[in-house]
Amino acid sequence: MKIDWKRKLTSRKFWVAVIGFVVPLLLSFGVAESVATQISGVIMSGATCIAYILGEGLVDAESSVNAKETDKKD
């Protein structure tokens, strides 16, 4: 079974699961709660950027394919 990484990296559920794993792990190692909160914020900010970049890339790729198909019909 092949993993669809584009879909995973643009999934908010995936990033919430990552945070759900990382934050309790940090807290169990004695990291301050405020630091764990900051780290979760950084992860979500990064996830938002990744999702945007991949999403825009997919839209641009689809537009390019559609433009090529339109050119072939003419």
For the stretch 15-54, pLDDT in tens is 889 999 999 999 999 999 999 999 999 999 998 898 888 8
Q: What is the DSSP string of 15-59?
A: HHHHHHHHHHHHHHTT--HHHHHHHHHHHHHHHHHHHHHHHHHHH
**Quick check: is 2 in a domain?**
no
Note the pLDDT of residue 71: 66
If one counts every other C-beta atom within 10 angstroms of the C-beta of residue 11, the result is 14
In a domain, 53, yes or no: yes
Does 3 reside within a domain? no
Its domain, for residue 60, covers 8-73
- pLDDT at position 5 over 90: no
Give, rounded to a whole angstrom, the gap between the first and last alpha carbons of the chain: 40
pLDDT greater than 70 at residue 73? no
Q: Residue 1 domain-assigned?
A: no
Between residues 59 and 38, the one the model is more confident about:
38
Count of the separate structural domains present in the chain: 1
What pLDDT is stored for residue 45 in this prediction? 92
* DSSP classification of residue 3: -
